Amino acid sequence: MQVNERSWKFVPFTLRELNLALRTMGREHIMKHLQEDWSFKNPTRNYCWVVSEFLYWYIAPKGSSALKLEIPGDTAPHIFMRWPGGDIVDLTVQQFDCIVDYNEATRTSFRPAPGSGGPSKRSMLLAELLGIDVDSWKGRKKHWWSTPVQPPVVDEVQLDKKRTIYVVRDDLVPGGTKQRFLGPMVRANRNIDTWVMPTSTYGYAQVAMSVVCKEENRELVIFYPKRKQIFEYTRKAAEAGAVIIPVNMGMLTVCTARAKEYIEEHPKSMMFPFGGNHPIVLEHIKRIAQGIASNPSEVWTALSSGTLSRGLQLAWPNTEFYGVSVGHEPTEEQRGRATMFKASEKFDQKAKDPPPFPSCAFYDAKVWAIMKEHASDGALFWNVAA
C-alpha cells in the first residue's frame, strides 16, 4: 500500500479521520459500477473523485488543478490534486497495491454541480463529516481567471482637443486578447494533452494560454527565464494551473531548446507557436474584428510576433496599419503591411508615458506615446492586456 505522506501536511485532518468519514458514507456515494470494489477495510477505494472534488472546493489554494491518471487494471481514472507549487496532494492513493507514477497524469476539471453552482452533495457530505462548514466554499475568493469573456468593449478616448480615438479594451479580459483566439486552436488539436511554451519574462501569452488550457482541460508547461522572484505574468499562469519550469541563462532561444527536448520525451505534447501564430488564430481574429468595426481608417497595435496585426489586416484590407516594436525587430512577414515605429523604452522597461486606462506596461502601453504624436482622428488602438 502506497501512502503519499507529504499530502497530509496540506489538509486540516488525518488519514484516520478521512477513513472514518468514508466508512460512514459507505459505497452508496460511489458510481454504481464501482461500488463492488469498495470495502470497509479499504474505504478510499474508488472515492478519489469525491475526495478530490471536496479538496477543490473546500481546501485547495488558488491555482490548484485536478489531474487524472490511468491505473493498470482499473476501469476508471484515478483523480487527485496538484497545488500551485507543484506538490501532489493525493489522499486516496493508499487504495492501490501498486506504485503510482504521477508523471503520466493529465488535466481534468470539476464542473459546478447543478443546483448549488459549487460542490456536489457527496462532497458537501464529506465536508460535514470532516467538521468543515458545508457552506464555506461560498466565501472563498473567486479565481481571477473565472471572469466570463464578453464581446470586445470599444471606448472613445480623447487624444487631444482635435483628435478622438477608439480603444479596444481587452484589458477587461482575464487573459487578454489572446484568450479570445487561442481556444479554437487548442480545441482543433484534440489529440494533444500538453502544450509546451517557451516564453520571455514579459510575454503575456503565457497568461492567456494558461487560462485557455484550464478551460479546455489541457496541461500547459512553460519554460521561462529564471529570476530571483517569479514575474507576475508567470505567477498568474501558475495560479491558473500551468507547470512552470525555470531555465538558467533563459534567453528565448535557450527556453525554446529546453521546450523541444521536453516535447521529444512527451509524445502527446505540442509546441505553442510563437505569439499564437496559427491559421486558426488568424481566422478567428479576422471574424471578431469584423464584428466590431466595418473599416477603421487606421489601426495601431504593439507588434512583436505580429499575429494580432496580421489577423486584423485580414479583416480590414483597406485600413492603414501601424505597429510599435517593443522588443525584437519584427520580420517583413511578421509585420505584414504595417508601418513600423520603435518604442523608446528597452524591452524590460515599463512605458514612460502610459495611457489613461489599464495597459500592459511592457507592451501595449508603449504604443501610447507614439500614437499621441502620429495617430489620426478616428484611429483605433487594440489594447491587448493590462
For residues 86 and 239, which has the higher predicted lDDT (pLDDT)? Answer: 239
Statement to judge: residues 152 and 202 lie in one domain: no
Q: How confident is the model at residue 144 (pLDDT cuts 50, 70, 90)?
A: low
Q: Is 117 left (phi over 0), alpha (psi -120 to 50) or beta?
A: left
The CATH number for 323's domain is 3.40.50.1100
Measured over the CA atoms of residue 39, residue 42, residue 43 and residue 48, the dihedral's sign is negative
Instruction: Using the predicted structure, report yes or no on whether residue 205 has a pLDDT greater than 60.
Output: yes
Average pLDDT of the segment spanning 70-76:
89
Number of separate domains in the chain: 3
Burial of 240 (0-12, 13-18, 19+ CB in 10 A): buried
CA distance 371 to 166: 12
Question: How much is the pLDDT for 2?
Answer: 59
The residue from 240, 274, 308 where one domain ends is 274
For residues 138 and 260, which has the higher predicted lDDT (pLDDT)? Answer: 260
pLDDT single digits (tens) 102-125: 888 887 878 777 766 788 999 999
Statement to judge: residues 54 and 87 lie in one domain: yes
State the number of CA atoms in the 13 A half-sphere of 134 facing the CB: 10
Statement to judge: residues 374 and 318 lie in one domain: yes
How many angstroms separate the first and last alpha carbons of the chain? 49
Statement to judge: residues 70 and 83 lie in one domain: yes
pLDDT single digits (tens) 309-345: 999 999 999 999 999 999 888 999 999 999 999 999 9
Residue 367's alpha-carbon distances to 58, 215, 300, 301, 323, in angstroms, are: 43, 31, 8, 7, 8
CA distance 142 to 63: 11
The residue from 225, 248, 274 where one domain ends is 274
Residue 21's alpha-carbon distances to 5, 27, 50, 81, 251, in angstroms, are: 19, 12, 12, 19, 51
The four Cα atoms 97, 99, 102, 107 give a dihedral, to 10 degrees, of -20
Percent of the chain with pLDDT over 90: 62
For residue 338, the 8-state DSSP code is: P
Sequence-separated (6 or more) residues with CB below 8 Å from residue 244: 222, 224, 230, 234, 237, 238
* 157 bridge partner residues: 165
Statement to judge: residues 260 and 115 lie in one domain: no
Picking from 109, 79, 81, the residue whose alpha carbon sits closest to that of residue 6 is: 81
Mean pLDDT (the chain) is: 90
Statement to judge: residues 71 and 199 lie in one domain: no
Statement to judge: residues 324 and 363 lie in one domain: yes
Element of type H or E holding 263: helix 252-265
Statement to judge: residues 13 and 133 lie in one domain: yes
Whether the full predicted model's pTM is greater than 0.95, yes or no, is: no
What residue spans of 303-380 are helical by DSSP H? 307-315, 332-335, 367-374
Question: How much is the pLDDT for 1?
Answer: 53
Average pLDDT of the segment spanning 351-376:
94
Helix, strand, coil share of the chain (percent; to 5)? 40, 15, 45
Domain carrying residue 93: 5-139
CA distance 21 to 7: 18
Instruction: Using the predicted structure, report yes or no on whether residue 190 has a pLDDT greater than 70.
Output: yes
CA distance 340 to 329: 10
